[in-house]
C-alpha cells in the first residue's frame, strides 16, 4: 500500500500510531525500530514508545533479532473486515471448484481507490507462478480482473485512470482511445481479457460478480500461461462460479 499515512500523519497521537503501522507494506513486512522511525518520520524515542504499546496489545510483535512484524491481533481484526467475511469466505468454495476444474490460478479482486485489490488467489503446483497475494494492489488497466472493475466503475474514476495509463509490459494498453474501446468490449462481452499486459507470458480472463442491485462488487478471474489461447472457453465456468458467489453473498448479508 502507498504511504497514505504520510498524508494524515499530523500531531495527533492516533495519527502517529497509524503512521507507525503504515510503515509496513507489501515489500516491508519485517522492520527494525530505526526503519519504522524513518518511514513514519517520527523521532526514535516516540516510535519506541508507540511500538511498545502496540506490542503490548499484540498489534505488532518483535522477533528475537529485533525486527517488528504485524502481530496476530491485527491479523485477527483484519479477518473481521467485510471483504474477508462477506466476500472472500463466501467465495472460497466456488473458487475451489473453479480451480479443480481448470487447474489454473483463480483470482478474486475488488476495487480499492484506483487499484484492483486481490482478495484471494487459489493456485496449485501446476499453475503459472504469479506474483500476487491477498491485500496487494494491482493496476486496473493491465489485469483481467482490473479491466472488469474499471469497465463498471464510476465515470470519475475511469477518467482518473485513463489520464495516467502506464506501461507495465510492452503489451500494456496505454492509449486512452484504445482503452475506452477495450472497456466497451468488456461491458459488451461480459468478460475481460489480458494478454501479457501485466506479466510477460501470462494471460488472464475475468468476469464481474454483481450485487443484488446490479452493481459490480468484485471480479473473478483465471490467470494462465499464454499457451492456453482458448481462454474464452472458460467464460461459462467463470460465470457459473460468479453467479454462485453473487447469490451466496446476498444470502450471507441477509442471514
Partner DNA sequence: ACTCGTGCTTCCATTGGGTGGAAGCCGCGC
Partner DNA sequence: GCGCGGCTTCCACCCAATGGAAGCACGAGT
Please tell me the distance from the alpha carbon of residue 9 to that of residue 15, in angstroms, as a whole number.
Answer: 5
For residues 55-74, which are near DNA according to CB under 7 A? 66
Shortest Å, Cβ 180 to a second copy: 28
Q: Closer CB to a second copy, residue 16 or residue 193?
A: 16
**46 touching a second copy, by CB under 8 A:** no
Shortest Å, Cβ 222 to DNA: 42
**79 touching a second copy, by CB under 8 A:** yes
Q: End-to-end distance of the chain based on CA atoms, in angstroms?
A: 33
Cell for 183? 472497456
For residues 100-129, which are near a second copy according to CB under 8 A? 100, 112, 117, 122-125
Exactly one of 34, 58, 76, 96 binds DNA (CB under 7 A); that residue is 34
**50 touching DNA, by CB under 7 A:** yes
Please tell me the distance from the alpha carbon of residue 247 to that of residue 182, in angstroms, as a whole number.
Answer: 28
Residue tagged 467464460 (cell numbers) = 235
- Window of 19-27, 36-44, 160-168, 198-206 that interacts with a second copy by CB under 8 A: 19-27
**53 touching a second copy, by CB under 8 A:** yes
Shortest Å, Cβ 23 to DNA: 12
Exactly one of 36, 37, 42, 83 binds a second copy (CB under 8 A); that residue is 83
- Window of 12-20, 138-146, 150-158, 159-167 that interacts with a second copy by CB under 8 A: 12-20
**35 touching a second copy, by CB under 8 A:** no
- 188 binding partner (options DNA, a second copy, none; Cβ < 5 to 8 Å by kind): none
Cβ-contact 231, 223 below 8 angstroms? no
**1 touching a second copy, by CB under 8 A:** yes
Shortest Å, Cβ 230 to a second copy: 24
Shortest Å, Cβ 173 to a second copy: 27
**39 touching DNA, by CB under 7 A:** no
> Contact positions toward DNA, by CB under 7 A?
11-14, 16, 32-35, 42-46, 48-50, 66
Amino acid at each position: 500500500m502507498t504511504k497514505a499515512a504520510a498524508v494524515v500523519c499530523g500531531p495527533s497521537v492516533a495519527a502517529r500510531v497509524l503512521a507507525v503501522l503504515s510503515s509496513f507494506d507489501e515489500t516491508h513486512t519485517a522492520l527494525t525500530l530505526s526503519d519504522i522511525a524513518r518511514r513514519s518520520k517520527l523521532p526514535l524515542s516516540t516510535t519506541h514508545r508507540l511500538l511498545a504499546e502496540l506490542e503490548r496489545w499484540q498489534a505488532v510483535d518483535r522477533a528475537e533479532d529485533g525486527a517488528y512484524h504485524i502481530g496476530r491481533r491485527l491479523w485477527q481484526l483484519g479477518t473481521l473486515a467485510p471483504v474477508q467475511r462477506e466476500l472472500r469466505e463466501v467465495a472460497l468454495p466456488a473458487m475451489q471448484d473453479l480451480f479443480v476444474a481448470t487447474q489454473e490460478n483463480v483470482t478474486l479482486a475488488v476495487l480499492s481507490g484506483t487499484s484492483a485489490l486481490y482478495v484471494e488467489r487459489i493456485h496449485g503446483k501446476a499453475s503459472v507462478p504469479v506474483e500476487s497475494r491477498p491485500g496487494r494492489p494491482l493496476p486496473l488497466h493491465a489485469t483481467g480482473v482490473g479491466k472488469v472493475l474499471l469497465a463498471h466503475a464510476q465515470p470519475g474514476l475511469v477518467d482518473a485512470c485513463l489520464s495516467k495509463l502506464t506501461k507495465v509490459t510492452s503489451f500494456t494498453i496505454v492509449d486512452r482511445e484504445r482503452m475506452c474501446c477495450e472497456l466497451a468490449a468488456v461491458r459488451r462481452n461480459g468478460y475481460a481479457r489480458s494478454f501479457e499486459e501485466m506479466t510477460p507470458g501470462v494471460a488472464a480472463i475475468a468476469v464481474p460478480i454483481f450485487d443484488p442491485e446490479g452493481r459490480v462488487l468484485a471480479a473473478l478471474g483465471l490467470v494462465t500461461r499464454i499457451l492456453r489461447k482458448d481462454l474464452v472457453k472458460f467464460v461459462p465456468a467463470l460465470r457459473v462460479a460468479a453467479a454462485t458467489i453473487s447469490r451466496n453473498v446476498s444470502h450471507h448479508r441477509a442471514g
